Amino acid sequence: MLRQAIDPALVAAAQARLAAAASPAAAGQAEEMLALLTRSGLGATMAEAMGEFDVPQRCQVAVNAPRRPSDDVAPTGYRDRDQPFYAAHLHLDGLYAAGATPERQEGPPEEVYASFVERTQAAPSKGRSAEALAPGRGVPLFLDEELTLSIGSYTTLVGVCLSDQRTEGCGQLGLLKGAHHAVERLFREQREAGGVMGPEGASWPRLDHDAPNRCGTVLLPEVVRDQFLDADAQATPDGRLWPRPTQILMEPGDCVIALFHVPHCATRNESPQDRVNVYFKLRAKKRQPNRVVVGGGGVAGGWFDRGPKGELLSAEDGEVWQRTKDALCDMWSEWAGMAAVVAEQQVEVATLGSSKL
């Protein structure tokens, strides 16, 4: 957390630009929004910590409007009102996910999977392939043609607050504190097992057939989630326990920085005003040194490790998928300015044990 890191004049300009925009998405490339990173000290802070990255050409203007608990079914397959902690759906970014069907799906798992892939594609169905794109942000089912990578990724999420979020229930960002270590371990185990990294890889099924609709998307694998069940966990009506996320309490001008590996979510906004955050999804330049990454993480279609419209990379760029797999298995590899701090902490962990995490 960086408290009051953004000059009030830059905050006010971004708020005014959003108020005048036709939609939040329309403001995503506005200079006033990008200035929250490029004209504040935040950009220099990130360059010092990460090293070189492409200056974003767009950002995600995330407006979470007020709403009451509802019977709408989330991608997890559960009703909004039944999901605890203000409908917190902890997830990693870069996953193929689409609006869930409220109807309970029948048939064996392979038929439910085939139906899910068929009905959730943005264009005429390409089946289980790298050409299958989810509607909206165009996140692919698989990033590569060999179907070995099923999650898009970046280095860090940087959020700038534009609304008052100092009390829980304002729709703020929720983070599963400490879970980045468990996520990194899972990716390492998946790589060692061979096959897919991400959903459909070891210990991470694509669909949850035990969800009420029998086809919920597994946004966070059970093997990770269950490590964070404690006395604060709450259950859905079916008795399944869910960990409590840490709600990030902020006010305009505050910033939050989180590793890609940290599971996160927006929460239901039960306050009387919109919750507004501006997110920059930054990727270290060393991952794709020969390409300009415009940022936004799929806001205009596509995702990292794909072209701006979701198109597959050329053979020349294809090795980025291997660099991505390496980064998923070493979450600090793209943080040049953090190397000494990380090394010191790793020595402490080795000395004191995993409880240090």
Residue ranges of the chain with per-residue pLDDT less than 50: 298-301, 356-357
Total domains present in the chain: 1
Phi, psi of 86 (to 5 degrees): 55, 45
Query: Does residue 2 fall inside a structural domain?
Result: no
Residue owning tokens 């326990």: 241
For the chain, give the percent of residues with pLDDT over 70: 94
Query: Does residue 196 fall inside a structural domain?
Result: yes
pLDDT tens digits, residue range 66-109? 999 999 999 999 999 999 999 999 999 999 987 778 899 999 99
CA–CA distance, 92 with 153 (Å, rounded to integer): 9
Residue owning tokens 């009451």: 68
CA nearest neighbour of 51 among 345, 303, 333: 333
What's the one-letter identity of residue 94?
A: G
CA–CA distance, 203 with 72 (Å, rounded to integer): 28
Residue owning tokens 């205009």: 300
Residue 128, SS3 per DSSP: coil
Structure tokens at 115: 């139906």
pLDDT tens digits, residue range 12-63? 999 999 999 999 999 999 999 999 999 999 999 999 999 999 888 899 999 9
Q: Do the beta carbons of residue 139 and residue 94 sit within 8 Å? A: yes
Give the global pTM: 0.94
CA–CA distance, 187 with 38 (Å, rounded to integer): 32
Structural domain including 75 reads 8-356
Query: Does residue 3 fall inside a structural domain?
Result: no
Query: Does residue 195 fall inside a structural domain?
Result: yes
CA–CA distance, 157 with 173 (Å, rounded to integer): 11
CA nearest neighbour of 91 among 133, 153, 135, 137: 153
CA–CA distance, 58 with 69 (Å, rounded to integer): 32
Query: Does residue 1 fall inside a structural domain?
Result: no
Q: Cα dist. 278→15, 182, 226 in Å?
A: 10, 27, 30
CA–CA distance, 87 with 265 (Å, rounded to integer): 9
